[in-house]
Structure 1
Amino acid sequence: MNTSGELLVGVEEEFHIVALESGRLASASPALLEALPGDRYSAELQESTIEAHSAPWTALADLADDLTATRKTLIRTAEEQGLGVLAAGTAPLPGLEEPAVPPLPRFQRMHDLYRRLAGGQLICGAHVHVDVPDRDLAVRVLQRLAPWLPVLLALSAGSPFWREADTGYASYRSVLWQRWPTAGPPGPFESAAEYDAMVAELVARGTILDEGMVYSDVRPSSHLPTLELRICDACPRVDDVVLLAGLFRALVRRECAESGAFRPVRGELLRSATWHAARSGLGGTLVDPATGRPAPAEAVVRDMVAGLRPSLEESGDWETVSGLAESLLGRGDCASRQRAVHARSGSLRRVVAALLAETGGAG
């Protein structure tokens, strides 16, 4: 937290690297990283993906400027090498039978342990970090946050295509992600010590290599004093990433301040709500966290935003976030936009072109 008391927020964005000529994935992150500033970009599990990191900010406008600048640098560097970068949960044209692994010991160990699961990890997400320096508080509020996270997934949903086919899902990335042994809704914890003991047990069993492999939908960060949102697809539009950041910060602010009784939602029902969001995105119904029943997606989103108004006004984010939410509802989620391009053109290459344009700020 900064000296003003406002919760800092930052974002990690994962991007697919594609060959501009074909639109297909390219194993090129080592060459890109050599040409990029080392403090803002890093390798991912496959050489066809790359991650960019924002600084922490109090103002969403500053976060938007930061994300835009890091994208411009990445895109310019990629284009110099005949490459493009696109932000989406999955790439419409994969083109890699055996993805290359970055020459980093941790990633090599992950591929050795998880085999095809790691080799098929051709997906990208957007991760939002919000300052919660009290780690005991951070782990206690995980389950308070959990029922709302499927709505954030629906807002980000942008991975309808996988291996050149329409999956029928708005976020097939989240379906693929659930294969990991630690993915999904967070469990109940009363303290950081209890959480750390759980992580240590998973490491001792050989299920994961380290704390960074706890892949729950929201978690205390393994390397920062933050709560980290991990459920969302990567988003081609910076505005949508800023919307997710603003909503998540408001949720964290509200739930950290809440001291009343809370009845946790069963894990099976949380998984059901996540599946529902992955299946439909904003194009159908979502499980309303307030009632536990399906309701039109637009109504669920508007009700969530309205319920967060006190937290959003406290941080000066109400007008920005409510406006961005209405804009996204008006244009539809990224999955529906991709399908519309494909329906008009019959070409996944055109879908890739549209994603490259949106990631670069056009469209």
Structure 2
Amino acid sequence: MGVEEEFHVVDLGSRVLVARAHEVLERLPERGFISEFLQSVVESNSGVHVSLDALHGDLRRSRQVLSEAAAGLGLAILAAGTAPLARVGAVDATPHPRYLHMADEYRVVADEQLICGVQFHVDVPDRDTAVRAMSVLSPWLPTLLALSANSPFWLGRDTGYASWRTLLWQRWPTSGPAGCFDSAADYDAAVAGLVRCGVISDAGMVYYDVRPSANRRTLELRVCDACPRVETVVMLAGLFRALVVDACAEVQGTDRCRHTRPQVLRAMTWRAARSGLGGDLVDPITGRAVPARVAVGALLARLRPTLEEFGDWELVSAGVRESLARGDVADRLRRIAAGGGLTSVVDFLVAQTHARPTTGAPVSVRGRR
């Protein structure tokens, strides 16, 4: 498994999102860090890991070196679905032909893409299995979104949502639930049709909540907000791996996907984005509203055999219990804002994002040759 984390770049003085990712990248190692669509985001790519402990150490080291590079420029990195203080129009697209075309084609949707997510990759047996497994996974993904939701603030105001990033992200024409595909050929034909009709320019613009990777033998989860705490990222990685393993086992030997009405999946996602852990979620089995802790508990119980098989049970179950004990992150951020304003929220998120070095080979900050 592997993880891609996106980080906002904010000014340490004003706490406002700034278009200076390229300056941070120039101070980073050439491998493991890349630019993103907008010039306010830096992406970190982990190595490939089998154990959650190894993934945890990798992510901490990456955050450390990224934080040091930003601090040397009077900047900070911030892992959250949205940066609380930002201005539309103050951040341009990264000057790459593909990104510039997207900015011109999608206009306001692209201009307001001031969001960050975390993506998870899990190895799969083959693409046919992966594509059929997506429909088994999909009803459980809103619960993972709720566990990650931390973006209530947008352009300096409270949206009332736990994950406003999700609502912004769903405006793209190929975002949301993946749908039902019986084979990799079926999925590829659908993507080719989207490119052919001009809605998207390439297969990389398929932004479904879960999708087969274009260049790896993995399933990729894309539904989660970028998470301030490394521990949350690792917990989600463990849950997603167990979901993928179980779903792949379930569809082995079949040639059909499991159909769930897309409007139901979209509604489940909206509910998770609205409430996070602070309200109800939709139970994937009954289709009824249940308290978030009940939905999370049901997911954890369902995955326990596979989590135990991988040796992940103790770490993941402890992470879930801690997340439920901490409560809804969006509500916590609102309480911080009530006491100290949005600059205090930014300071809190920066502090949560920053990680101290762990054991292992240090990663040096340097200028790019």
TM-score range relative to shorter protein: over 0.9
SS in structure 2 of the partner of residue 138 of structure 1: helix
C-alpha separation in 2, matches of 1:333 and 1:156:
9
Which residue of the partner structure matches residue 325 of structure 2? 330
Question: Residues of 1 paired with 2:62 and 2:130: CA distance?
Answer: 29
Partner residue in 2 for 1:275: 270
Which residue of 2 is the match for residue 82 of structure 1? 74
User: Aligned residue for 2:180?
Assistant: 188
CA RMSD of aligned residues (A): 1.3
- Quick one: distance in 1 between partners of 2:168 and 2:5? 18
Match among 237, 241, 247 for residue 239 of structure 2: 247
Does the aligned pair in 1 maintain the 2:182–2:257 contact within 8 Å? no
**Matched position secondary structure for 2:192:** helix
CA drift of 1:96 comes to: 4.7
TM-score normalised by length of structure 2: 0.93
Query: Are the aligned partners of 1:235 and 1:334 in contact in 2 as well (CA < 8 Å)?
Result: no
Conserved in 2, the CA contact under 8 Å of 1:36 and 1:77?
Answer: yes
Structure 2 stretches lacking a partner, 5+ long: 357-369
Shift of 1:117: 1.1
For 1:10, the equivalent position in structure 2 comes to 2
Q: Match for residue 131 of structure 2?
A: 139
Q: Distance in 1 between matches of 2:97 and 2:258?
A: 42
- Relative to the length of structure 1, the TM-score reads 0.95
Matches within 5 A, 1:234-313: 234-259=226-251, 263-313=258-308
1:42 aligns with 2:37: no
CA distance in 1, matches of 2:258, 2:222: 23
Aligned equivalents of 2:257, 2:4: Cα separation in 1: 30
Match of 2:52 among 34, 55, 60: 60
Q: Deviations over 1:243-278 (max 9, x none)?
A: 110000000011111148975221000001000000
Q: How does 1:101-116 map to 2 (within 5 A)?
A: 101-116=93-108
Contact 1:25 1:95 in 2 (8 A): yes
C-alpha contact (below 8 Å) 1:44/1:102 kept by paired residues: yes
Distance 1:173 1:211 in 2: 22
Question: What letter corresponds to residue 318 of structure 1 in structure 2?
Answer: W
Match of 2:348 in 1: 354
Instruction: Give the corresponding residue for 1:159.
Output: 151
Quick one: distance in 1 between partners of 2:259 and 2:274?
Answer: 24
Corresponding position of 2:359: none
Which residue matches 2:87?
95
CA shift, 1:33, in A, is: 1.2
User: For residue 230 of structure 1, what is the aligned residue in structure 2?
Assistant: 222
Contact 1:143/1:187, CA 8 A, preserved across alignment: yes
Task: Decide whether aligned partners of structure 1 residues 213 and 305 sit closer, same or farther in structure 2, where only a CA change above 3 A counts.
Answer: same
Contact 1:33-1:43 within 8 A present in 2 as well: yes
CA contact (8 A) 2:56 2:230 kept: yes
Q: 95-104 vs 143-152, which deviates more?
A: 95-104
Q: Distance in 1 between matches of 2:268 and 2:347?
A: 32
Which structure has the higher relative contact order (CA within 8 Å, separation 6+)?
2
Aligned partner letter, 1:277: A
**Larger mean Cα displacement after TM superposition, 258-267 or 172-181:** 258-267
Aligned to 1:168: 160
1:26·1:96 contact (CA, 8 Å) conserved in 2? Answer: no
1:128 matched residue in structure 2: 120
Distance in 2 between residues matched to 1:55 and 1:270, nearest whole Å? 32
Identity %: 54
SS of the residue corresponding to residue 142 of structure 2 reads: helix
Is contact 1:54–1:66 with CA below 8 Å preserved after alignment? yes
Q: Distance in 1 between matches of 2:313 and 2:269?
A: 26
1:17-63 C-alpha deviation (Å, 9 max, x unpaired) = 00000000110111111111121111111101111000110000000
Mapped to 1, the partners of 2:174 and 2:258 lie a distance apart of: 23
User: In the alignment, which residue of structure 2 is the partner of 1:4?
Assistant: none
- Residue 33 (structure 1) aligned with residue 30 (structure 2): no
